[in-house]
Structure 1
Amino acid sequence: MKRGRLPLTALRSFEAAGRLESFTLAAQELFVSQAAISRQVRELEALLGKPLFTRHHRKVLLSPDGVQLLETLATAFDSIDARLEDIRAKETVALLTVNAEPSFAGCWLVPHLADFRALHPGIDVSIESEARLIEFRGNEAQLAIRHSAQATAWPRSQARRLCDVAMVPVASPVILADTPLKTPQDLLSHTLLHEENRDVWTRWFAAAGLTPGAERMRGPIFADCALALQAALRGHGIALVDSVLARDDLDAGRVIQPFDLSVPQGAYFLVARDFDLLPPEAKAFADWMTACFAAPYT
């Protein structure tokens, strides 16, 4: 018999009735009427041209052909059930969407993402890189990473402080090899790289006890810290950057911090609509981020 013509409903009814030796119990198991079970079995018997049951007043017994068919069906149905359960039980890959500001996404999150994946291979992370503050609606990210110079909370959301931010001067070793820096005053003989405006460099020099004029503060202005750091890596000048984002380059010696002096610039926060209601994959990511910044990260 061709597979497309197999009477699957009738076979299912017969298997239940034969296994339970009762049309009534089969009907209860399959959530149909007893009459429906009886009709399906009769149609199967008519198709085969052989009786599958011997019917008595209060019970039914399998005929020899019925016993053989039941054995085949029981084995087949058990195999199908086991395979379906295996498929259902397999670990599925969860997709987590995280929204991060471009500088943090490029300089910290992407370089460290492999560490998270090593701990949670069943979770794929989709990174959205944009500066706007998301509302955690619809298909938006489950988590966001935000920097703020002053704010510590955002409307209709919860925030966890990850770490404070300190702005430090960094330069390519090539620059410092040619003209070593001995005092903060020496920085003014180099091109200064600025993020957004010249205010942070002004604050840094003030902390160093210097008040250079506007002419001596000239230099390129970049939209974010990541761009200023890239310019410093290529020897275009000396940048004042977020120490969190520059940490990997500092540790690897790609840039050097000539002076320990820094100025505070707010903090990073992990933000969610409600941390208690996060799905498992988002909670795993939140716990990982918290652990990463558990110790002072400067």
Structure 2
Amino acid sequence: MKRGRLPLTALRSFEAAGRLGSFTEAAAELFVSQAAISRQIRDLEALIGKPLFERHHRSVSLTADGETLLTVLTHSFDRIGDSLDALSGARRAGTLKVSAEPSFAGCWLVPHLAQFQAENLEVDLVIDADPRLVEFRGNEAEVAIRHSTRFTSWPRVEARHLADVEMIAVMAPSLAPRVLREPLDLLRYGLLHEDTRGLWEQWFAAAGAGEVRVERGAIFADGALVLQAALRGHGVALMDRDHVRDDLDAGRLVQAFDVSIPYGAFWLVARRFDALSEPARRFVAWIERCYPRQKGA
């Protein structure tokens, strides 16, 4: 198709809808109505003579042709956006925005940032503690740290394994009795939970306590809040071993029983690692060097 006939508006609408998996979210991103998105995509499908989406009752999914077109468009629009940002200076030199899981940000990243800043005085960091996936567009983060119990890759981005997560039971020394005879003794001290109580049930099973129904205990939105509660003696917490290593070494927390359970992994994510800015490259190199598992801890 000749360049002069390219339906750019329709292509932009399709790219947003395909990338987000939703006509509604595409409409919000592009500041138009959902009806406008639907019309543009119908016109595009009529032009090429093939369906790009499968319409379901309350959702849409890309066809194979839609997937092919989306890959080309997303890559092309990203390159155009990067070029415009470079020409306009939209990303200020020396500034790096990092998106991180709240638990990772609060438990490990923020406590260790002074080391990165001491080695990179000219880099100004912006830490966005948000569990949502970023698209790495516009003013969004350039690097993200994500946790997943299932996924090892995500569409249209590159991911590097940072560390596996190993959960252990910890408590403040003031709360810990001299002798814990069996795992079920922990129920007397109150259990702290991140998001759900189900993880403790897995820990008790791994500890040989059988099927334990955990129905009580405070639930917190992220691990950093759980850690603060544990440090203050509010209960027993399941925490990533790497995130409480300093507290264990300093005696602020003690581990209850030599039991751990796997809980997914942390991943470094970027649109393209070979195209990162100099501050982002330095950050990635630093965290791969300093995060505990990377040192074989």
Question: Shared fold by TM > 0.5?
Answer: yes
3-state SS of paired residue (2:153): coil
3-state SS of paired residue (1:131): coil
Shift of 1:228: 1.4
RMSD (CA atoms): 1.7
> Residue 253 in 1 paired to residue 251 in 2?
yes
Structure 2 Cα separation of the partners of residues 98 and 129 of structure 1: 8
3-state SS of paired residue (1:282): helix
- 1:167-182 alignment to 2 at 5 Å? 167-176=167-176, 178=177, 180-182=179-181
Number of aligned positions between the proteins: 204
2:248 alignment partner AA: L
> Residue 166 in 1 paired to residue 130 in 2?
no
Structure 2 Cα separation of the partners of residues 246 and 283 of structure 1: 27
With the length of structure 2 as denominator, give the TM-score of the two structures: 0.65
With the length of structure 1 as denominator, give the TM-score of the two structures: 0.65
Structure 2 Cα separation of the partners of residues 221 and 147 of structure 1: 19
- The match for 2:221 is 223
- The match for 2:263 is 265
- 1:161-240 alignment to 2 at 5 Å? 161-176=161-176, 178=177, 180-211=179-210, 213-214=212-213, 217-240=215-238
1:282 alignment partner AA: A
3-state SS of paired residue (1:185): helix
3-state SS of paired residue (1:144): strand
3-state SS of paired residue (1:187): helix
Q: Deviations over 1:240-270 (max 9, x none)?
A: 1122222222222111112221000001111
Would you identify which runs of 4 or more consecutive aligned residues in structure 1 move more than 6 Å? none
CA contact (8 A) 2:175 2:189 kept: no
2:280 alignment partner AA: A
Equivalent residue for 2:275, pick from 274, 277, 284:
277
Structure 2 Cα separation of the partners of residues 107 and 208 of structure 1: 25
Shift of 1:213: 4.2
Q: Which runs of 5+ in 2 are unaligned?
A: 1-91
- 1:1-298 alignment to 2 at 5 Å? 94-176=94-176, 178=177, 180-211=179-210, 213-214=212-213, 217-293=215-291, 294-297=294-297
Structure 2 Cα separation of the partners of residues 212 and 230 of structure 1: 28
Point out the more displaced range, 280-289 or 246-255.
246-255
Shift of 1:237: 0.8
Structure 1 Cα separation of the partners of residues 239 and 130 of structure 2: 19
Q: Deviations over 1:246-295 (max 9, x none)?
A: 22222221111122210000011111000000011110111111111322
Structure 2 Cα separation of the partners of residues 231 and 291 of structure 1: 30
- The match for 1:66 is none
Shift of 1:152: 0.8
**% identical aligned pairs:** 54
CA contact (8 A) 1:157 1:273 kept: yes
2:279 alignment partner AA: E
Shift of 1:189: 2.1
CA contact (8 A) 1:163 1:296 kept: no
Shift of 1:162: 0.6
Q: Which runs of 5+ in 1 are unaligned?
A: 1-91
CA contact (8 A) 1:93 1:122 kept: no
Point out the more displaced range, 179-188 or 152-161.
179-188
CA contact (8 A) 2:161 2:268 kept: yes
Structure 1 Cα separation of the partners of residues 174 and 249 of structure 2: 16
The 1:108/1:149 distance shift into structure 2, 3 A limit, reads: same
Shift of 1:208: 1.2
